Amino acid sequence: MRLSPAAALAALVLLTLPACFTNKQNQGARLYGQHCAGCHGEQGEGIGQLIPPLAGSDYLAQHPNQLACIVRNGLKGPIKVNGVDYDQLMLGVQDTATHRQLSPAQITNLLNFIESHWGNHPGPAGVRTIAGTEAELRACNQQ
């Protein structure tokens, strides 16, 4: 059987598209394992009254526009997550290899992973884009 160029292209796109998506999911999952799981748990379950959960977190669901800033700059001071009070310090996260800030693309993939697992959902703006993350990061210090 000979494929027409158009059919060959369509087949190629169909074959490679899922690979792209899986890759991003993998990067998000990998970054989560590297940077967050040690505290928030493999399944986002948190640690008792010390570390709040990310799985099914009402705080996470209610602050979608601040999550990129939390990853980059950390969070401190009293918060309530699913009815439990926390008053701890989370430092901003840096890339383990480069010791630089995580890039907007990395933060995008990481947050898309978190918002599509453990009963979490994307915020009102839907699946995150790099441009959306950049806009959130520019607004960090104005909150």
Closest residue by Cα to residue 57 from 87, 81, 84: 81
Question: At its nearest, how many Å lie between ligand HEC and the CB of residue 16?
Answer: 29
Instruction: Say whether residue 90 binds ligand HEC (CB under 6 A).
Output: yes
Give yes or no for a contact between 122 and 104, defined as CB atoms under 8 angstroms apart: no
Provide, rounded to whole angstroms, the least separation between the CB of residue 80 and ligand HEC.
Answer: 9
Nearest approach, Cβ of residue 20 and ligand HEC (Å): 23
- Using CB under 6 A as the binding rule, whether residue 67 contacts ligand HEC is answered as yes
Report the site for ligand HEC in 1-20 (rule: CB under 6 A).
none
Distances (CA, A) of 90 to 10, 118, 141: 46, 21, 17
Interaction between residue 68 and ligand HEC (CB under 6 A): no
Please give the single-letter amino acid code of residue 40. H
Cβ atoms of 36 and 52 within 8 Å: the answer is no
Nearer to ligand HEC, 61 or 135 (CB): 61
d(CA 91, CA 93): 6
User: Which residue ranges make up the site for ligand HEC (CB under 6 A)?
Assistant: 35-36, 38-40, 51-54, 57, 59-60, 67, 70-71, 75-77, 79, 81, 86-88, 90, 93, 110, 114
